[in-house]
Structure 1
Amino acid sequence: MRNRLQEQRGAAAVEFAMIIPLLLILVLGIAEFGHAFQVQGTLSAAAREGARVMALQNDPAAARTAVRNAAPTLDPAITNAQIAVTPAACPMTSTGTTNVRVTIEYPMPFLTDFFGVSIELSGTGVMRCSG
């Protein structure tokens, strides 16, 4: 009777050792997905803010500054090279509806190196020129 109980304890330890890597991968995946979801939301909000500033002020430098100021929590921070503003200036005459588009391309580093080094995320904001 006593040997049978010890054998069952050993079987439980082996089963747990087989399941723990799967559980660890699942937890890491959930954490990485949550982080990517948060960063994607931040990028979208920053791009919308940049598009709003560009549409109202018609100044690409101010739009880039607005993007960087709208995403202060990102590490590493967004650089000017990652921000694309098209067109470079809103037309001065309102002959039609011209939209300004601000796109941010951001290589988000993973929290752990388990799934790789980084993943490319992007955020886009579009607004009509002159509000």
Structure 2
Amino acid sequence: MAGGAPRRSFGGSHGRLGLSLSPGTESRYFRDYYRCLVSHSAYLPLFTSDSPRGVASRFGVVIVRKALGVRTAASTRRKERGQALVELALVLPILLLILMAIIDMGRIYHGYLSVTTAAREGARQASLGRTDEEIRATAILSATPLKADHITVVISPDARLRYSGANIEVKVEYQMAIITPGMQAFFPNPYVVIGKAVMKRE
């Protein structure tokens, strides 16, 4: 084209992008466009009306906005993961306390069943006229796997009052340690489970 360097039009009289550039400007434009894609936040002003020669590209702005959208989405996902970790840190201790409380309640219930069985076996021996030592030994053995040194066996009435037809009561107590923090507000520590059984002397 006479009087100057030829100009290239993109997509029509005004171009699909609305641009009509000389070869030198075209080269500089696409060089800047590539730089913008590499670091869109630093070179975003290249696609505004403040750019050299007033070059503005709607297409370029759309690309940059999409790139910004990708970065925003990634940032949002990181924030969501961070929020999930914070929520887990808040909820996990509560869940652990609930789990420990369930374990303690299960231990207490198991201890109650054990001492009840022990009391019943001890009362059966008492009804047969066994001595207190034999009654206690049978009750403690029947309370397995409870610790023997935490078991107390109480027999009533006194041996000389256990005549034929008299009711004999055997009470077995077991001291159980509570492991859940804060449970002491609801249960004494150690917690004593008690089993009782009454049988007539034969």
TM-score range, shorter chain: 0.7 to 0.9
Secondary structure of the residue that 2:128 maps to in structure 1? helix
Q: Which has the higher strand share?
A: 1
State the 1:76 CA deviation.
Answer: 4.8
CA–CA separation in structure 2 for the residues paired with 1:119 and 1:52: 27
TM-score, normalised on structure 1? 0.84
State the 1:31 CA deviation.
Answer: 0.9
2:110 is the alignment partner of 1:42: no
Deviations 1:78-112 (A, max 9, x none): 55xx2110112311xx4xx42100012221123x3
Q: Tell me the residue number matched to 2:91.
A: 19
2:102 is the alignment partner of 1:30: yes
CA–CA separation in structure 2 for the residues paired with 1:59 and 1:40: 25
Identity of aligned residues (%): 27
Larger Rg: 2
CA–CA separation in structure 1 for the residues paired with 2:92 and 2:154: 44
Shift of the 76–109 alpha-carbon distance from structure 1 to 2, 3 Å rule, reads farther
Which runs of 5 or more residues in structure 1 are unaligned?
none
Q: Tell me the residue number matched to 1:106.
A: 174
CA contact (8 A) 1:48 1:126 kept: yes
CA–CA separation in structure 2 for the residues paired with 1:76 and 1:50: 15
- Let me know the Cα RMSD of the aligned residues: 1.7
State the 1:57 CA deviation.
Answer: 2.0
Larger RCO, structure (CA 8 Å, separation 6 or more):
1
Q: Tell me the residue number matched to 2:123.
A: 51
Shift of the 63–76 alpha-carbon distance from structure 1 to 2, 3 Å rule, reads closer
Which runs of 5 or more residues in structure 2 are unaligned?
1-72
CA contact (8 A) 1:68 1:78 kept: no
Q: Which has the higher helix share?
A: 2
Tell me which stretches of 4 or more aligned residues in structure 1 moved more than 2 Å.
75-79, 112-117
Q: Tell me the residue number matched to 1:6.
A: 78
Match of 1:35, as an amino acid? Answer: R
Deviations 1:37-67 (A, max 9, x none): 1111010000000011001124222111111
TM-score, normalised on structure 2? 0.56
